[in-house]
């Protein structure tokens, strides 16, 4: 997130010089300029990839923010991207978000794996690397072993250390999965916009190369941990392929993020630990 409004030269390059930026709460630190939202970009390659995909993608029952190209055709200018504004705000309609995930991933299954999803994080890490590292921790034979080789900083907070302990314990419950990996959006909780009875909206795609049900599992883990979801959410989607293993890896992913991310707070841990205990019972 950033509180710095988009610079004038960025607005000008996107043809928005005359618009007064208004800060938005639900767009990754974005600023609305008329019918367009300018958002700071964490990773240029991912932002350009997402823009290119969203430019033409069609998903039943989903409004997608379309990229607005700069006057010279670029998707990203000086660390900012532009998208069409969508009405709506995140709401605790967790089952609907899972439904969005299933429809979206039927479409994204046709996409190729971007080259940046194959690369290892290299020190010094940026924000995106934390999520890449945490994702790998949930799937590699020994969680975080590859990171320790790559210069991972020691985890010193009590809740971070507890997260690593739980991660190691949960790793023993993993079994091989058969559902093939594909391109998925791994951060749908809190990013789907609702506006009354209208079609849900989506502002971005955060790409991972994992089975489709895993992405649904991440939504459920997030909703149970921090979204006030009822405990039945975990069981309501149990007909998805290999569900116990998918939610197991989803909660391992979130535990690894909690341990590794410099902005993790102790207050976020109890909800996550409770969800991990719930998942342990269904595996």
Q: How far apart are CA 78 and CA 64, in angstroms?
A: 24
Q: How far apart are CA 229 and CA 105, in angstroms?
A: 23
Q: What is the predicted pLDDT for the residue at 156? A: 85
Q: Where in the chain is CATH 3.30.200? A: 8-84
Phi, psi of 104 (to 5 degrees): -60, -40
Q: What is the predicted pLDDT for the residue at 2? A: 46
Q: What is the predicted pLDDT for the residue at 172? A: 97
Q: Where in the chain is CATH 3.90.1200? A: 94-282
Write out residues in the chain with pLDDT < 50, as ranges.
Answer: 1-2
Of 186, 183, 172, 201, the closest CA to residue 280 belongs to 172
Q: Which CATH architecture has domain 94-282?
A: Alpha-Beta Complex (3.90)
Tokens describing residue 6:
């988009």
Query: Which residues are paired to 76 by β-bridges?
Result: 81
135 close to 255: Cβ distance less than 8 angstroms: no
- Please tell me the CATH code under which domain 8-84 is placed: 3.30.200
Q: Of all helices (H) and strands (E), which one includes residue 170?
A: helix 158-171
Q: What is the predicted pLDDT for the residue at 144? A: 86
């Amino acid at each position: 997130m950033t509180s710095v409004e988009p610079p004038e030269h960025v607005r000008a390059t996107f043809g928005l010089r005359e618009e007064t930026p208004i800060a938005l709460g639900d767009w990754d630190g974005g600023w609305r300029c008329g019918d367009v939202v300018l958002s700071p970009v964490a990773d240029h390659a991912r932002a350009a990839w997402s823009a290119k995909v969203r430019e033409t993608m069609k998903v039943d029952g989903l409004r997608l923010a379309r990229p607005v190209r700069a006057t010279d055709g670029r998707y990203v200018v000086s660390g900012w991207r532009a998208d069409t504004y969508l009405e709506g705000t995140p709401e605790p309609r967790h089952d609907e978000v899972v439904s969005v995930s299933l429809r979206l991933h039927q479409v994204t299954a046709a996409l190729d794996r971007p080259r940046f999803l194959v690369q290892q994080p290299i020190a010094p890490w940026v924000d995106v690397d934390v999520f890449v590292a945490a994702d790998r921790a949930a799937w590699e034979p020994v969680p975080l072993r590859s990171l320790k080789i790559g210069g991972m900083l020691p985890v010193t907070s009590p809740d971070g250390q507890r997260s690593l302990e739980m991660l190691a314990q949960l790793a023993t419950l993993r079994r091989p999965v058969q559902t093939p990996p594909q391109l998925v959006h791994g951060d749908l909780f809190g990013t789907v916009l609702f506006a009354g009875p209208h079609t849900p909206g989506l502002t971005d795609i955060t790409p991972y190369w994992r089975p489709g049900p895993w992405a649904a599992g991440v939504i459920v883990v997030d909703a149970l941990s921090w979204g006030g979801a009822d405990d039945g959410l975990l069981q309501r989607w149990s007909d998805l392929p290999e569900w116990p293993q998918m939610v197991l890896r989803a909660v391992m992913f979130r535990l690894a993020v909690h341990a590794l991310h410099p902005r993790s707070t102790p207050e976020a841990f109890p909800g996550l630990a409770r969800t991990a205990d719930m998942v342990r019972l269904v595996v």
